Structure 1
Amino acid sequence: MNREEANQALEIIRRVVSQARDDSSLQNWGAIWMFHGVTNTTGFAGTQWLWSAGHRTPHAYAVLWASILAINIVTIFLFKRGQTAGARSFIERQIWAIWSTLVGGMVLAAFCNWLLGLDRLFMPTISCILLATAFSMMGALMGRIWFWVAAFLAVMSLVMACLPQLAFSMLAGVWFVVQFGAGFTLHRARLRRLASQRPEARLV
């Protein structure tokens, strides 16, 4: 084997190791996503209840979602504390960036909704569009399956626009299916990897 062939072999090994490590990092978010699938679904269902009960000021919604976000942030660190994946990988940095941007965008959209004084909330539809955008970015980084999730969310945003009075309930159901389902898939892949004690091929 000459020097050029050795360098090519080394590059292939680096890519395989990096891929396995990134997949392992992504799998570590499975349990977190399952838990957040429940908390966020509860938040959207609670928002639907508040809206149906006639609450039109932002205070009750702010308290509800501040509590949900606080729980979510705390549980991320609690779940990650027991994992020994080492330094944060490229994939994990992208997950943090994508989801932080998503949360910021949803908060800003809700604030703009209030500033505009809209009687009929457009938040469920806008939230679904933002979610579709986030999952599309994940697809570009982590695999084509996430593009299908983004397409599903894009279609559901149109359905919610046609049924605004039920939109938050629909968003709660969609969110549970998407986030809990994705988390369950990743968590199951992590358990299989740990049981086999060897890196697996790309999972997404």
Structure 2
Amino acid sequence: MDKDTAEQALAIIRDVIQNTRDDLVAHNWGVIWMIHAFVNFAGAAAGTMIDRQELPVPWYLIPLSVVALIDILLVLFLTERDRGVRSFVEWQLWGIWVVFIVFILAGTAVLQLSGASSLLFCPLFAMTSGLSVAMMGIVFYRRFLIYAAMFVVVMVFATMVPSVQWWLVGVAWWCTMFIPGLSMYRERKGRQQESDDARIL
């Protein structure tokens, strides 16, 4: 591959990345992720109560199911679509998180059937979360890779300090959702202001 071809390929990749971010900003994902940050944190905090009660692994699925339902409803009600049609980016997001749910359920079954300690569910959850966030970083926005690395750290520390493991997961999820969400929200407001100014002129 010569230099010109390589530069053209890089330009195409940059355009794809920018268009992906533009799609997320335009369809109100910033607000959605900011709200998800608090919902996910609350769900993680519920894991601490299950740890203290020393309940079996399937009990973790109760708060996680509630969180998933709330998150889905928020997406359905707050996403702004073009003529009601899901964008390509939105389909990719759904795909990533459906895979996440499938692997969480599979991991729950493995832990339950093997008789492993229920405390291992949190590191497993952190690992699966990190993988899904890493997929978002690869497909959408490279800064998500930073948050994926955060989940790796949480996964390791969860085995060392299980008494606070779910708080660590909650903080990681809050950062993963709120910080990019706030950035996109501000960008969207800025674009709307520019659009309003252009109309006035």
* Percent identity (aligned): 23
Give the Å deviation of 1:21.
Answer: 4.9
| Root-mean-square deviation over aligned CA pairs | 2.6
Tell me how far apart the structure 1 counterparts of residues 96 and 131 of structure 2 sit (CA, whole Å): 9
Query: Do the aligned partners of 2:122 and 2:166 also contact (CA within 8 Å) in 1?
Result: yes
The equivalent residue for 1:67 is: 66
Give the Å deviation of 1:173.
Answer: 1.8
Stretches of structure 2 lacking an aligned partner (at least 5 in a row): 1-10, 197-201
Tell me how far apart the structure 2 counterparts of residues 147 and 68 of structure 1 sit (CA, whole Å): 23
Give the Å deviation of 1:103.
Answer: 2.2
Tell me how far apart the structure 1 counterparts of residues 195 and 121 of structure 2 sit (CA, whole Å): 44
State the Cα deviation string for residues 150-193 of structure 1 (Å, max 9, x = none).
22221221111222232112111221122222222222222222
Tell me how far apart the structure 2 counterparts of residues 110 and 167 of structure 1 sit (CA, whole Å): 17
1:85 aligns with 2:53: no
The one-letter amino acid paired with 1:188 is: R
Tell me how far apart the structure 2 counterparts of residues 157 and 44 of structure 1 sit (CA, whole Å): 14
Give the Å deviation of 1:52.
Answer: 0.7
The one-letter amino acid paired with 1:42 is: A
Give TM-score scaled by structure 1 length: 0.76
Query: Do the aligned partners of 2:33 and 2:177 also contact (CA within 8 Å) in 1?
Result: yes
Query: Do the aligned partners of 2:111 and 2:117 also contact (CA within 8 Å) in 1?
Result: no
Query: Do the aligned partners of 2:144 and 2:176 also contact (CA within 8 Å) in 1?
Result: no
The equivalent residue for 2:45 is: 45
The equivalent residue for 1:3 is: none
The equivalent residue for 1:130 is: 128
The equivalent residue for 2:177 is: 179
1:56 aligns with 2:53: no
Query: Do the aligned partners of 1:40 and 1:68 also contact (CA within 8 Å) in 2?
Result: yes
The equivalent residue for 1:163 is: 161
State the Cα deviation string for residues 57-101 of structure 1 (Å, max 9, x = none).
63x434333222222222211112xx2434433322211111221
Stretches of structure 1 lacking an aligned partner (at least 5 in a row): 1-11, 199-204
The equivalent residue for 1:25 is: 23
Tell me how far apart the structure 1 counterparts of residues 104 and 115 of structure 2 sit (CA, whole Å): 17
The one-letter amino acid paired with 1:72 is: D
Query: Do the aligned partners of 1:124 and 1:168 also contact (CA within 8 Å) in 2?
Result: yes
| SS of aligned partner of 1:144 | coil
Tell me how far apart the structure 1 counterparts of residues 99 and 57 of structure 2 sit (CA, whole Å): 25
Tell me how far apart the structure 1 counterparts of residues 50 and 167 of structure 2 sit (CA, whole Å): 11
Tell me how far apart the structure 2 counterparts of residues 159 and 19 of structure 1 sit (CA, whole Å): 33
Query: Do the aligned partners of 1:139 and 1:146 also contact (CA within 8 Å) in 2?
Result: yes
Structure 1 runs of 4+ aligned residues shifted over 6 Å read none
Query: Do the aligned partners of 1:149 and 1:178 also contact (CA within 8 Å) in 2?
Result: yes
